[in-house]
Structure 1
Amino acid sequence: MENFNHGLQIIHSIIVKASSLTFIRMVGSVPSGWMRRILLFLVILTGILLIAMFAHTPPLASLQPFTIHRTFQSPWSWACVSGRCERRAVHSSRISSSTCSALCGGNTRLIWPRPTGLVDLRSENVVFHWQQVEIATVNTSNQEVKNLLEHAKDVFLGKRNVKNLMRVSNAKSRSAIDSFIIYISAGSASNTQLSLDTDESYHLQVLTKGKHLEVRIIGKSYYGVRHGLETFSQMIWWDENCGRQGCLRVLSQASIEDKPVFSYRGLLVDTGRQFFSLEQLKRVIDGMSASKLNTFHWHLTDSQSFPYESVQFPEMARWGAYSGEEVYTPEDVKELVTYARIRGIRVLIEIDSPAHAGAGWQWGLERGLGELALCIDQQPWSAYCGEPNCGQLNPINENSYKILESLYRELLDLTGVRDIIHLGGDEVNLDCWAQYSNISATMQAQNITDYHVLWADFEKKLYSRLIKANHGEAPKAVILWSSPLTKRPYVTQYFDSSIHVIQSWGGSTWPDTPDLLEDGFRVILSHVDAWYLDCGFGKWREAGEAACGEYRTWQTVYNHRPWRDYPLQQQHLLLGGEATIWSEQLGQASLGPRLWPRASALGERLWSDLPSNGYSTDESVYTRLAVHIELLRSRGIRTEAMWPHWCTQNPGKCL
């Protein structure tokens, strides 16, 4: 830089002199021959000086950009006072907010959902490097279970879990231990498919032997071990005030006994009205696994679109997908199923029928198969369906049943979920069928006068086709949405309580659920006034009912415990619950924030079912959920905020 400045000074001097000489020439004081010689000399001298200057100048590639290095030193530290973290200004050593949150609050801190059994979390903790962690599978005999556990190890240590906690990837802090080993055991478990009877319990123990950290996670199934690994991952955090760069810490003394209250803990995502990429659906799976939800209900198709690219019937997607880019291939389905199973989740795919079936079913006449679906895009739509585009399957066309059978055969083979199957079955518009003379003639020939009977006949035929699609095996549970057909007197006439499970989506004060339980039917709860996460965003059309009420807050989701009002002798019929997020007003960017942390609140309600008084929520729920939200974000999951961030740092002052 010094040479550069010196060179500039020389050039400036030459230019000044040259200008002066030029001026002299102009006034005629110097002969023209001498002037030419002087100018030539100056040009040569300038070239020599420039060469010398750049010879001593560093190459451009080595030049560093001009930056301002700023050091941010926060004066704040956190102290645990009466079970709460309080922020204080200090001049000495500081305790980070994350460390205080991990160590303050007794056995209610850190873990989401809260364990249901004995919990003993001590405040002892150690610093470690993630590279030190070893995971060993012991006392597990089944090879398929072992293979799943190997994948679970990768997830535990992966870029969306423990490794991703590190804010500085090459942190050099010194480890306080010599070894860190996690022993995992699924015992004699042999079934790698999640079922309604799967034992998801686990026992977790963390202890320190000298400078050796030892963790033991024992489950009676793969899923129990996976839940134990999830719980233990939440006992690890990043301490930004550790050393110069920060460090990973882990609790070094802990014991947990845990198992879920409900066996079915679901979340529905609708890809029929809006398309979501495979990567977006994987982020949903990540959030579910962190909250110990275990059923991803994939509402794959609807009357607006059919995005599944069937091998047997590619016409479905060709006629029904929004575009060639907005389809799910069989490989996509299989990839998501594998991704979910490793994370403890079954993928339950629904192709709704006989209603909610329009787009994708229009090609029957072209192929000589007759009208597969009726009322497609019929106007006025409000007379024939709940929202545009209308469409429901033709109950007297056998080809409609054949196609459904083939579709379910493909999907059952891809998912491997055969014991529990969802057939849809809601919001059938009887006026749609009533306008077709050939349907009326068929009913007269069979002496049928009630269109509910025709609807029930559709479900009966579909069930027999489903058994064929399932390689001749009857599923243990066939799920149907609650509807007029699942009300009295039809429900006991046309459905079998040992086979059919009703997903009750009506209002929590409606008689549907109590009546179903009284009639002996197993029930999955999805009450619209508590667990419909798409509500609260206003109308999306002017005609007809286009909104489902106010926004369901996470407190509303969390405090919904309708089973308290049901007779004890009927409690065993409640399989669990499911939140739904229908996608009429759900954009690509809003999927995550609309789900989390509200779906996390559902996770604790269905796993732990902690007591709650009306709509008042215990303070520890707020503080633990705030910690859980930070965990989700560290794993790349987009969430809504539950309160100002100041409240996360000062929780006791916000409640």
Structure 2
Amino acid sequence: MSGKSFLLQPLFVPLFQLYRSSVDVAAQLIKMWLQNFCIYTVYLALVSLCVTAEDPSPWRWSCEDRKCVKTRNDPQNKDPVLSLEACKMFCTEYGLLWPKPTGETDLGNFLSKININNIDIKLANEGRSADLMKDAGNRFKNLVSMAIPRGVSPKSTGKAVTVLLVNENPDVREFSLDMDESYFIRVQAASSDRINATIKGGSFFGLRHGLETLSQLIVYDDIRNHMLIVRDVSISDKPVYPYRGVLLDTARNFYSIDSIKATIDAMAAVKLNTFHWHITDSQSFPLEVAKRPQLAKIGAYSPAKVYTKQAIQEVVEYGLVRGVRVLPEFDAPAHVGEGWQDTGLTVCFKAEPWARYCVEPPCGQLNPTREELYEYLEDIYKEMAGVFNTDIFHMGGDEVSERCWNSSEEIQNFMLQNRWDLDKASFLKLWNYFQTKAQDKAYKAFGKRLPLILWTSTLTDHTHIDHFLDKDDYIIQVWTTGSDPQVRGLLEKGYRLIMSNYDALYFDCGFGAWVGEGNNWCSPYIGWQKVYDNSPAEIAGDHKDLILGGEAALWSEQSDSSTLDNRLWPRAAALAERLWAEPQHKWNDAEHRMLHIRERLVRMGIQAESIEPEWCYQNEGYCYR
């Protein structure tokens, strides 16, 4: 007998016992595997599918000095034994919750065994949001099941759970910057065989957040093979900032609808509420526009890489159930090119050398002097208004090049006819001419004066922004550094801001250059710790009330569906807690919980980047400084 066969011999007995009731064909098949020495990998695969948690864990955890300490579990010891996640739930003030609640939080001192097959969700009052609430309830049950390790079947004994949802405004189902996302949870024993969980919310969105938190209060106990819920819980919670987002650029590289949905699922898990869809750019135009089909026909990478009206509506509804608005951006007047070739409405498209006219190839800007351009814009805006059903709209305004416009004789003549010079100040007038006409078309397309967002630029410079853009109409999204004097300057003039400062919130930084050599322009890589410590309140100082929130940006020159998860997660979770709670402490106080939210995302199917060895997760206190 070979050495490998000898070592495996003790394992064969339980394998055959497990399958002793199988038919002879199965037994012969196993025998054939044995004879061909393939049994080793097959055996491991079978064990991974069939094993349950009936055998007690060799480990136990106890809470000491706010850390869960791992020790050997003596089966003869009759003292209460905590599993790892049960210990983590009670060892710190916020247990395993992410993001941490902002109001009073009491996680009690008890865990109750529950039967997750006996969870009943009830609506105390119906209304226009009832269908959303029912879908959110089904999502909650699915999240609870994801706490169970794959291949494990927990015991079905345990208490039933009734979840009562009390919606104070059941007719609200639309996003807004002042929507009520608050909620209150109470979990308590109702009888010897039932647990009651009551969630009260200021709207559907608050109740949805409450369900997300409740799902985090249910853990799997691998010592007893049971599902447990934290009992005697009281949590009051609401976000600090109303805008908590992730930007995804789908023009440099295409992303599948499934990958976008997965991103929205992960966002919902950490209570981010805005998926900013940078859907077009100079490299491609993947948006289907019914009245202008040629834009996508010649502007998309392929017919299969087009976002149809049906696909977008599917994403928008998917986000709504998860409390995530889908915010469209049409970036203009710069960052256009592919798709516009036959319109005659662009200048300097694919101009060379490209570095003279834009920041990356291919160059391209719209020609503001052509009246037909604004008919195109209205059709694009109407398409977006019809499918996105959004309460705010992003008009881009990023990286407009004076040199690009100045390369056009037609534009030069237009400016001179308007008695403008060809200097920087005059090109700002041209840009403002475009923005004013585009703004009117946007209002007409959406049928209302909805808030408009623009990136920081020369047009939004605080020394002259009030000559061009009304602070009641525009929100400015900051992409420069957090220390940029423009931030304070804009705040002092009363403009509302969204922070996406690239030194902390550009998640494409830190990879190899794609034009030239070395690393890309915003290197180095930004770790989750820097994301977590990037405080909008500290940046804003006395004007923090004008900060609407923040957003992580994934520009996609070097990313696509295959890399999406690990580019965003778990770093976007760090942003989520900063924007939800604006905690006083820094990242090191959140590290224990950060490791857990990463594990939770992985259980959801998100391929989140690993940030520490699993040993650190199981041995708290040894990997921290």
Q: TM-score w.r.t. structure 2 length?
A: 0.89
Q: Does residue 337 of structure 1 match 2:316? A: yes
Residue matched to 2:222: 240
- Contact (CA 8 Å) 1:540, 1:547: kept in 2 or not? no
Residue matched to 1:553: 527
| TM-aligned CA deviation for residue 208 of structure 1 | 0.5
| TM-aligned CA deviation for residue 546 of structure 1 | 4.4
Q: Does residue 574 of structure 1 match 2:557? A: no
Residue matched to 2:609: 640
Residue matched to 1:315: 294
Query: For residues 543 and 238 of structure 1, do their structure 2 counterparts lie closer, same or farther at Cα, with a shift above 3 Å needed?
Result: closer
Query: For residues 312 and 543 of structure 1, do their structure 2 counterparts lie closer, same or farther at Cα, with a shift above 3 Å needed?
Result: farther
Please list the CA deviations of residues 134-155 of structure 1 after superposition, one character each: whole Å capped at 9, or x if unmatched: 0000034x2x211110111111
Please list the CA deviations of residues 417-452 of structure 1 after superposition, one character each: whole Å capped at 9, or x if unmatched: 1x3110000100111111111111111111122111
Residue matched to 1:607: 580
**Counterpart selection for 2:587 from 608, 617, 622:** 617
In the TM superposition, what are the counterparts of 1:448-527 in structure 2 within 5 Å? Answer: 448-449=420-421, 450-471=426-447, 473-475=448-450, 477-527=451-501
Matches of 1:167 and 1:219 in 2, distance apart?
A: 31
| TM-aligned CA deviation for residue 174 of structure 1 | 4.4
Please list the CA deviations of residues 588-636 of structure 1 after superposition, one character each: whole Å capped at 9, or x if unmatched: 3221111111100000000000013xxx5333x0111111111111111
Residue matched to 1:18: none
Residue matched to 1:11: none
Q: Does residue 209 of structure 1 match 2:190? A: yes
| TM-aligned CA deviation for residue 531 of structure 1 | 0.8
In the TM superposition, what are the counterparts of 1:144-183 in structure 2 within 5 Å? Answer: 144-158=128-142, 161-167=143-149, 171=153, 173-177=155-159, 179-183=160-164
Q: Does residue 591 of structure 1 match 2:564? A: yes
- Contact (CA 8 Å) 2:275, 2:324: kept in 1 or not? yes
Matches of 1:545 and 1:462 in 2, distance apart?
A: 37
| Displaced runs of 4 or more, over 4 A | 58-62, 66-74, 543-546
Residue matched to 1:299: 278
Q: Does residue 78 of structure 1 match 2:61? A: yes
Matches of 1:145 and 1:113 in 2, distance apart?
A: 25
- In structure 2, give the amino acid aligned to 1:139: N
| TM-aligned CA deviation for residue 169 of structure 1 | 6.4
Q: Does residue 444 of structure 1 match 2:413? A: no
Matches of 2:496 and 2:112 in 1, distance apart?
A: 47
In the TM superposition, what are the counterparts of 1:231-310 in structure 2 within 5 Å? Answer: 231-242=213-224, 246-310=225-289
In the TM superposition, what are the counterparts of 1:321-360 in structure 2 within 5 Å? Answer: 321-360=300-339
- Contact (CA 8 Å) 1:136, 1:182: kept in 2 or not? yes
Secondary structure class of the residue paired with 1:341: helix
- In structure 2, give the amino acid aligned to 1:113: P
Number of equivalent positions: 575
Q: Does residue 397 of structure 1 match 2:370? A: yes
Point out the more displaced range, 459-468 or 587-596: 587-596
- Contact (CA 8 Å) 2:348, 2:407: kept in 1 or not? no
**Counterpart selection for 1:97 from 70, 84, 88:** 84
- Structure 1, unaligned runs of 5 or more: 1-57, 365-370
- In structure 2, give the amino acid aligned to 1:537: F
Query: For residues 172 and 204 of structure 1, do their structure 2 counterparts lie closer, same or farther at Cα, with a shift above 3 Å needed?
Result: closer
Larger Rg: 1 or 2? 1
Query: For residues 437 and 543 of structure 1, do their structure 2 counterparts lie closer, same or farther at Cα, with a shift above 3 Å needed?
Result: farther
Secondary structure class of the residue paired with 1:166: coil
- Contact (CA 8 Å) 1:166, 1:247: kept in 2 or not? no
- In structure 2, give the amino acid aligned to 1:463: Q
Secondary structure class of the residue paired with 1:257: strand
Query: For residues 319 and 122 of structure 1, do their structure 2 counterparts lie closer, same or farther at Cα, with a shift above 3 Å needed?
Result: same
Tell me how large the CA RMSD over aligned residues is: 1.9
| TM-aligned CA deviation for residue 132 of structure 1 | 0.3
| TM-aligned CA deviation for residue 100 of structure 1 | 2.0
Matches of 1:650 and 1:381 in 2, distance apart?
A: 53
- Contact (CA 8 Å) 1:358, 1:376: kept in 2 or not? yes
In the TM superposition, what are the counterparts of 1:96-115 in structure 2 within 5 Å? Answer: 96-105=83-92, 107-115=93-101
- Contact (CA 8 Å) 1:319, 1:363: kept in 2 or not? no
- In structure 1, give the amino acid aligned to 2:363: C
- Contact (CA 8 Å) 2:332, 2:395: kept in 1 or not? yes
Secondary structure class of the residue paired with 1:115: coil
- Contact (CA 8 Å) 2:57, 2:223: kept in 1 or not? no
Matches of 1:607 and 1:488 in 2, distance apart?
A: 28
| TM-aligned CA deviation for residue 405 of structure 1 | 1.1
Secondary structure class of the residue paired with 1:575: strand
Please list the CA deviations of residues 235-269 of structure 1 after superposition, one character each: whole Å capped at 9, or x if unmatched: 11122222xxx222111220100000001111101
Residue matched to 1:6: none
In the TM superposition, what are the counterparts of 1:223-238 in structure 2 within 5 Å? Answer: 223-238=205-220
Matches of 1:328 and 1:524 in 2, distance apart?
A: 27
| TM-aligned CA deviation for residue 295 of structure 1 | 0.5
- Contact (CA 8 Å) 1:482, 1:503: kept in 2 or not? yes
In the TM superposition, what are the counterparts of 1:177-196 in structure 2 within 5 Å? Answer: 177=159, 179-196=160-177
Secondary structure class of the residue paired with 1:423: strand
Matches of 1:609 and 1:170 in 2, distance apart?
A: 38
- Contact (CA 8 Å) 1:270, 1:581: kept in 2 or not? yes
Matches of 1:488 and 1:344 in 2, distance apart?
A: 34
Matches of 2:151 and 2:259 in 1, distance apart?
A: 25
Q: TM-score w.r.t. structure 1 length?
A: 0.85
- Contact (CA 8 Å) 1:201, 1:260: kept in 2 or not? yes
Please list the CA deviations of residues 362-384 of structure 1 after superposition, one character each: whole Å capped at 9, or x if unmatched: 121xxxxxx12111111100011
Secondary structure class of the residue paired with 2:494: coil
Secondary structure class of the residue paired with 2:591: helix
Residue matched to 2:381: 408
- In structure 1, give the amino acid aligned to 2:226: C
Q: What is the percentage of aligned positions where both structures have the same residue?
A: 38
Secondary structure class of the residue paired with 2:459: helix
| TM-aligned CA deviation for residue 172 of structure 1 | 5.6
| TM-aligned CA deviation for residue 166 of structure 1 | 2.4
